[in-house]
């Protein structure tokens, strides 16, 4: 195929053999959010560039190098959304959803970041995210972690993920820590790599995130934000930790966990796996009480998380011991016909079967191939039964579970299908 017509690098097709597992997972998200009382939000893919510059922050990787920005025909600076929280906050405020009430919301959809594509890292990827607005207490931080524990348990991933948490405090505490951190890094300048030297000016907190093995000893000794927390933030953090313990959720306090976005305050967390190489963060989240004030003077407490669905699917497929039939599509019945001009008859029979048996999946072979070939295709589809219209006008049923074949009339066929397949 002509190279210029291929899909854009880092943007992949989800093929029909993959969609069943996506749908299965999406069903899990819907069920989870329903059980916890979260309602779905559907947000635009395009937003003003300024939204992310303000909300995510100029000095973050996302805004400084990963956004798909362009100008539309009227000269407006717009972008393909790189994440969901900023748009969700915009929508909540714009539509007054939190006027005198709280909101529990979720969303799912594609996000876009111009990054180097590799395993678990795409330029178009999909997030499932949850945001809770108008609730400032540590119980809500715990609630969204409860949801995640529940989800990962349901997906059989508990033993493959660890929860790391930290508190980033409030801006005042962060400022004090930042000063101490800059002083520390300046004193250890000779140990900083180029990336970190750049960050020293723009976003020193993110240096703590560095994976450079030569810097680890120094980074572990650097001033910890946790030590700069004042009473209220300390209490908030210990209340979250206590709730997790009471709910028997194991966690690790990682004082170097900072997250890549500016908007976080207090609680931040990640769910990390060692099974996917360096792209091991499946879920990231936390509290972002300061974000609303970038939009309007009225404060609005908020917290949430986002899961990268492609990474989650990679993990599920890597660690699952057994194949799940729900991850594949198989029709219940395939109708084959010996005579090519019986096509219409086959379609009408299929239609009657679908109408009589609710939920039955019936696929009619319209390929025009020889009967033997039609049977081969049907067998490959792993259907449960093949119904053949013979040239003599008979209906033959081939039950693939028992390998039995029988001739019967339509009424008995329906009876048989009802009894055996539903």
- Based on the shown chain and the rule CB under 6 A, indicate whether residue 47 belongs to the binding site for ligand ATP: no
283: contact with ligand ATP by CB under 6 A: yes
DSSP 338: S
The answer to whether 79 contacts ligand ATP (rule: CB under 6 A) is no
Q: Measured from the CB of residue 162, what is the shortest distance to ligand ATP in angstroms?
A: 14
Closer residue to ligand ATP (CB): 59 or 363: 59
Closest CA to 281 of 123, 121, 167, 410: 121
Sorted by sequence, the CB contacts under 8 Å of residue 65 that are 6+ apart come out as 114
Q: In what order do the strands lie in the sheet with 252-253?
A: 39-40, 103-112, 124-133, 302-308, 281-287, 267-272, 162-167, 252-253
Phi-psi region of 259 (alpha: psi -120 to 50; beta: other; left: phi over 0): left
| Residue 291 makes contact with ligand ATP by CB under 6 A | no
* Cβ nearer to ligand ATP, comparing 123 with 174: 123
Task: Decide: helix, strand or coil at residue 274.
Answer: coil
Q: Which is nearer to ligand ATP, 55 or 389 (CB)?
A: 55
Name which position in 109, 255, 260, 331 contacts ligand ATP (CB under 6 A): 260
Query: Taking CB under 6 A as the rule, does residue 87 contact ligand ATP?
Result: no
Cα(422)–Cα(416) distance, rounded to whole angstroms?
10
What one-character-per-residue DSSP string does 372-411 give? Answer: HHHHHHHHHTT-SEEEEE-TTS-EEEEETTTTEEEEE-HH
Of 285 and 332, CB closest to ligand ATP = 285
Between 12 and 420, CB nearer to ligand ATP: 12
Q: Which DSSP string corresponds to 133-157?
A: ES--SHHHHHHHHHHHHHHHHHTT-
Q: Return the number of the residue (192 or 312) whose C-beta is nearest ligand ATP.
A: 312
For position 347 contacting ligand ATP by CB under 6 A, the verdict is: no
CA–CA gap between residue 126 and residue 227 (Å, rounded):
36
* Closest residue by Cα to residue 282 from 143, 121, 168, 138: 121
Binding residue count for ligand ATP, defined by CB under 6 A: 18
Q: Which span sits near ligand ATP by CB under 6 A: 46-54, 306-314, 343-351, 400-408?
A: 306-314
Residue 332 binds ligand ATP, judged by CB under 6 A? no
DSSP labels, 194-244: HHHHHHHHH-GGGGGG---GGGHHHHHHSPPGGGG--HHHHHHHHHHHHHH
**83 lines the binding site for ligand ATP (CB under 6 A):** yes
Please tell me whether residue 144 binds ligand ATP under the rule CB under 6 A: no
- Residue with smaller CB distance to ligand ATP, 127 or 233: 127
- Residue 365 within binding range of ligand ATP, rule CB under 6 A: no
The least distance separating ligand ATP from the CB of residue 132, rounded to whole angstroms, comes to 17
Question: Judged by CB under 6 A, does residue 57 bind ligand ATP?
Answer: no
Q: Where in 108-137 is the site for ligand ATP (CB under 6 A)?
A: 113, 115, 120-122, 125, 127
Closest-by-Cβ residue to ligand ATP is 308
Binding site for ligand ATP (CB under 6 A): 83, 113, 115, 120-122, 125, 127, 260, 279, 281-284, 306, 308, 310-311
């Amino acid at each position: 195929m002509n190279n210029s017509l291929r899909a854009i690098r880092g943007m992949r097709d989800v093929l029909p053999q993959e969609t069943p597992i996506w749908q299965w997972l999406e069903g899990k998200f819907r069920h989870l959010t329903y059980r916890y009382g979260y309602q779905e939000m559907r947000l635009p893919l395009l937003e003003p560039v300024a939204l992310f510059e303000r909300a995510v922050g100029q000095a973050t990787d996302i805004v400084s190098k990963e956004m798909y920005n362009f100008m539309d025909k009227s000269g407006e600076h717009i972008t393909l959304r790189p994440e969901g929280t900023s748009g969700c906050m915009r929508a909540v405020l714009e539509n007054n959803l939190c006027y005198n009430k709280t909101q529990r919301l979720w969303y799912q959809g594609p996000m876009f970041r111009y990054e180097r594509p590799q395993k678990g890292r795409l330029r178009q990827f999909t997030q499932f995210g949850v945001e809770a607005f108008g609730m400032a207490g540590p119980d809500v931080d715990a609630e969204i972690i409860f949801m995640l524990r529940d989800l990962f348990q349901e997906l059989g991933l508990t033993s493959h993920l660890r929860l790391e948490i930290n508190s980033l405090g409030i801006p005042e505490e962060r400022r004090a820590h930042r000063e101490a951190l800059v002083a520390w890094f300046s004193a250890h300048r000779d140990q900083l790599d180029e990336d970190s030297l750049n960050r020293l000016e723009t976003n020193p907190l993110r240096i703590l995130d560095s994976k450079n093995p030569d810097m680890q000893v120094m980074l572990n000794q650097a001033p910890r934000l946790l030590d700069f927390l004042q009473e209220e933030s300390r209490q908030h953090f210990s209340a979250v930790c206590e709730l997790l313990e009471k709910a028997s959720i194991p966690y690790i306090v990682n004082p170097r966990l900072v997250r890549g976005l500016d908007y976080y305050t207090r609680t931040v967390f990640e769910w990390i796996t060692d099974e996917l190489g360096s792209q091991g963060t499946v879920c990231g989240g936390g509290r972002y009480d300061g974000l609303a004030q970038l939009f309007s003077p009225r404060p609005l407490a908020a917290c949430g998380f986002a899961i990268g669905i492609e990474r989650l699917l990679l993990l599920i497929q890597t660690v699952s011991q057994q194949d799940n039939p729900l991850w594949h599509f198989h029709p219940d019945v395939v109708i084959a016909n010996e005579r090519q001009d019986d096509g219409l008859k086959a379609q009408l029979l299929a239609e009657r079967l679908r109408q009589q048996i609710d939920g039955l999946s019936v696929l009619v072979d319209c390929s025009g191939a020889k009967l033997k070939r039609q049977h081969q295709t049907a067998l490959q589809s792993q259907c449960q039964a093949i119904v053949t219209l013979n040239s003599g006008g008979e209906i033959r049923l081939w039950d693939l579970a028992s390998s039995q074949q029988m001739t019967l009339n339509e009424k008995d066929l329906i009876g048989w299908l009802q009894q055996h397949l539903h």
